[in-house]
Structure 1
């Protein structure tokens, strides 16, 4: 086909893609497209973008050992993990690793990925709406209306919120592509062989971008299979595409090392389900992760679709509408199956509607373990949300003339943006701020580079498994930049218990080619190891062999204050001065790893004579143990207790409970290692 003919044929999907690209550039600017600029990623207040980029950076430096092409041996050295579990968009990471020798030292593909997501979102949404709206060649006004409707999907909240937060999850276009294949299956997938190849390709895309798209696209594939079954195409046409989709995804996951990864814990044991009323009613989500609201503009489109349908029936077109439904009966049945399956998958086993929990459905543990691989199952409602938005815009497009449809759908797109004005303004301000693109690392001492250039070290080791520190990501970036390994990192679906125990055990054998890092509370363990200690940028480091640095003297008092802002609080509040507890109040401090020794814990504040204080430890989701503690100082304003442990304490914390209506204030918790 001639180039001009191709451009003419696809001019409107390309216009929708251009709209998506323009929205992306307006929000995020063009500096995120510089592949050598990574500061905007590392400066993000959320650790997730740093995880995504550094996961790729460590993978880039990792050795290749067949058959696991996606295995990463550098990020939690010396163990094998997978690029899959750092949400680094595995397909792009593999492509980047292939061309790694010719890429710059610092290289990121996330900016261009974002642009691609917005462009594909706009282009595919326009193509689907043109199909649903019955837009014919030459209907210029209706074509523009389909582009305006695509704006509603370009500004879909799930895309807005996930971009450069959970960046791989911004691939909403995968769902749109599956819907497009479903709608156009008669033309695009005329044979079972082609259908198998295409749906296998979809399996590869989903598994290679983010696992949560496997069930969403898989449910659309079920809709395709239902339609083929109702068309009486035969068992092969119904089942083989499903088998190929699953087989291709499974094979890719094997190559990525998904089932051969150390520290992988696939089941979180819980489901964060969606309140389906939240699709159209804002504010019903129990948490940010469970928010599935489709946006003000999409809701407006739904209202317009219902009103338009009622007007059409009132004007005597009921017979025409009924005829349309009869002709598309198979589509309606298949669509209903898709929406029903998606609703079941997204709700989880606890049914909540309109903010009211209606009940919990008991399910076999085997099913729960499988389902819990997608524990944030509310995300699956994005499929229903996008499908409802598309259907609504399609109805408006079909029932109104072109000029009216342009006005109505453009208004919906504007409302979609207006409803997210605060979030959009925040992103605009962040990504158009020069400070976002400056190097803000805390590692400013030139001695860091001297250590890297010395060639004495090739590994960075954190003393304990705790990535909830600002310094952690700067240190991990330092290791990745210089081709070092790291023994600690945050992975999705990670068995944190196993990681915590493993890291503590590794400290039994110290290595001369490893630089040890004691971050915050880990400084309490410095006397447990025979290392040479130094301090750079306030961070305590240790080395087996002496370094040409000023030694850090052992402190007279080996103590560390807990960050009360990280406490879990019930019936109370965290203030600038500490934690305030009311009647029935409970406070649990941040969890620490404590090595063997004797400790003294001091709490300051007020009202302690009306409190119950204890300390406990234990692995996550396992039995916890209260420590045998001895109080040595008891006063309303100060409580001190001591304890001794001969073994490491994992996830140690201190708790304060109120005993009556007397308010309690905790202004400080200090832990001191005395022996």
Structure 2
């Protein structure tokens, strides 16, 4: 309970109390990352989605008329299902992510303290007090009391575990690192709680349900702890049933839940993206070795210090440590097996240490396709970090006779853990306590006509012309649709086949419907003359309707629709970015942002300077598939302006313009404008 209260205190210090208001959602939608908006809006679309058995977790409103699952919008499926049952009494805007964050911090602190105390051997003895009273007294020596408070300080190290800090209100479901601690706690108490195989199957089956209902990445992490449980049962010679049946129960429960959530019946499912993003093994101890945010597995300065102090404690108390490890050799062997398996899984098929890839393991393609479901496999190393941290804190307390000494050691570790993240923690405090920034309604849809359109009752569907969620307008429009019970034909999901969605969703325009409001964002405006719709512009966003919208003035159709590309979204070395465009030096190259172009004839105009020292072309092609160069006709050639035309006989997906320098002369690109001339 003390560790849980510590977790709650740290959470409230970092995030305040306004995130706990279930009707406050602006702090989610205002997040610089689109992930929290995806999680919240995935829930909002799911809460109003119809239910068709047996897939109780299916979402029919997010990519209408197709089916997806609340699982793949990372909306905490178990919570989403619970609150969907209460949907009729909930306010229009309702979020549970703030309370989930508080719950995660409390569970992290409470379970960390419990696990550390277990390893440390801090076991209060309960006895009767005065016979005339029915009170229960906790009988502990001063040394034990100091160690008990030391376990609280150790919990402080785990509450500030970097993965929990990074994922809270960024990728909320992954903030459930306490699931690993819960698995470790059950494992440590397995002789008491799971003496019977039947009870072991029940408890590990419940763990399977929790993992599948929170986030898929916790299935392999907790599954590896279960593997340690099975190894120890094998060393105890408990028989095949005690070893294998809990594993079967864990897998069966998780698979059954995933089936009900609709995980195996999702349209546009793309479970494999063909790569593994593995961890650098030294990255657990060295913070700057992670090549990307996803591969950051650092367990924190305080946790690393705890490991060092644990080794120091073992050396200083060699005889005591030898007796302890000999008496618990089965735990040691099983723990080593868990660590090795976890590091192998987290590394992917490339063994990387200290920023250098030592070798790559050849993996058959079918196995790669399966394992790539967990392509960000570096996350699995969190389990190793959590195990090392709690084991280190527990061993520091275990091997010192006087409890004050190890308690002071862990106090230093807790302070170091916070100090090592001081920048990130300060940013969190600033973001969530500066109310004007975080909690203000910043929707781009400010025109009151939006509400008039919704109140008319004529529309029940929102349809985007193409699959492209890399726009602020996209999320505001989906939020508008979710608030009013509409469906959306486009949404971003984990494990989504983006290529299939990009090819399929433009088909929404093949059969226009009067109950659908069509949205044309950025380059989609080039297609407006191809469809017989009434067009209007609200807050700068082009919308279309089969029937006229009363009280609104239509926007005249331009003879030649044109749109200018956003050069800041180009794929280019940041060193080449200038105030008024992009300046390419020797061996410089740029690729513009990716667009979807409807069939037609197009003209592209580049302005700048030095184009006589450049090579310019256009290409298109689906992600991770072959790309194609277009046959283009240059109709204007000038060092300061280049114009070319081309014909698209079919939809061009992920179309881009490329500019390369040919020598050491600078090439400047100030603008790229695209016109649909036919």
Give TM-score, length-normalised by structure 1: 0.96
1:583-607 deviations in whole A, cap 9, x for unaligned?
3222111111101111111112232
Residue in 2 aligned with 1:172? 177
Partners of 2:516 and 2:374 in 1: how far apart?
37
CA–CA distance in structure 2, aligned partners of residues 376 and 630 of structure 1 = 43
Task: Name the counterpart of 1:108.
Answer: 95
Map 1:199-218 → 2, pairs under 5 A: 199-218=204-223
Q: CA deviation at 1:572?
A: 4.8
CA separation of 1:418 and 1:319: change in aligned 2, threshold 3 A: closer
- 3-state SS of the aligned residue for 2:115? helix
* 1:46 Cα deviation after fit: 0.6
User: Aligned equivalents of 1:296 and 1:165: distance in 2?
Assistant: 22
Provide the aligned C-alpha RMSD in A: 1.1
The one-character-per-residue Cα deviations of 1:83-142 (angstroms, maximum 9, x if unpaired) are 010000000000011111111111100000000000000000000000111113222111
**Would you say the 8 A contact 2:320–2:399 is kept in 1?**
no
33, 55, 61: which one pairs with 1:46? 33
Tell me which residue corresponds to 2:259: 254
Counterpart contact for 1:607–1:663, Cα < 8 Å: yes
Distance 1:584 1:300 in 2: 46
Alignment of 1:160-559 (within 5 A): 160-312=165-317, 318-400=318-400, 401-435=402-436, 436-548=438-550, 549-559=552-562
What is the distance in 1 between the residues matched to 2:442 and 2:574?
37
Supply the distance in 1 between the matched residues of 2:667 and 2:328 (Cα, whole angstroms). 66
Q: Conserved in 1, the CA contact under 8 Å of 2:104 and 2:176?
A: yes
Matched, 1:591 2:594: yes
What residue number does 1:11 align with?
none
Report how many residues are paired.
657
Partners of 2:269 and 2:481 in 1: how far apart? 23
1:6 alignment partner in structure 2: none
Q: Which runs of 5+ in 1 are unaligned?
A: 1-13, 313-317
TM-score of the pair, normalised by structure 2: 0.96
Contact 2:258 2:264 in 1 (8 A): yes
Instruction: Report the CA distance between 1:539 and its aligned residue.
Output: 0.6
Deviates more, 1:604-613 or 1:195-204: 604-613
For residue 582 of structure 1, the aligned residue among 581, 585, 596 is 585
Q: Are the aligned partners of 1:571 and 1:582 in contact in 2 as well (CA < 8 Å)?
A: no
SS in 2 for 1:568: coil
- The Cα shift of 1:319 comes to 3.0
Supply the distance in 2 between the matched residues of 1:253 and 1:575 (Cα, whole angstroms): 49
* 1:341 Cα offset (Å): 0.4
Write the distance in 1 (CA, Å) between the matches of 2:309 and 2:642: 64
Deviations 1:436-472 (A, max 9, x none): 1121111011100000000000000000000000111
State the 4+ residue runs in structure 1 displaced beyond 4 angstroms: none
Distance 2:588 2:487 in 1: 44
Q: 5 Å matches for 1:60-99? A: 60-99=47-86
Partner-residue secondary structure (3-state), 2:289: coil
Q: Is the contact made by 1:572 and 1:579 (CA closer than 8 Å) also made in structure 2?
A: no
| 2:129 aligned residue | none
User: What's 1:622 paired with?
Assistant: 625
Structure-2 residue corresponding to 1:121: 108
Tell me if the contact between 2:608 and 2:669 (Cα under 8 Å) persists in the aligned partners.
yes
Deviation at 1:581, TM superposition (A): 2.6
Residues 268-318 of structure 1 show CA distances to partners (whole Å, capped at 9, x for unaligned) of 100000001010011111111101111111111112122222222xxxxx3
- How far apart in 2 are the matches of 1:308 and 1:322? 12
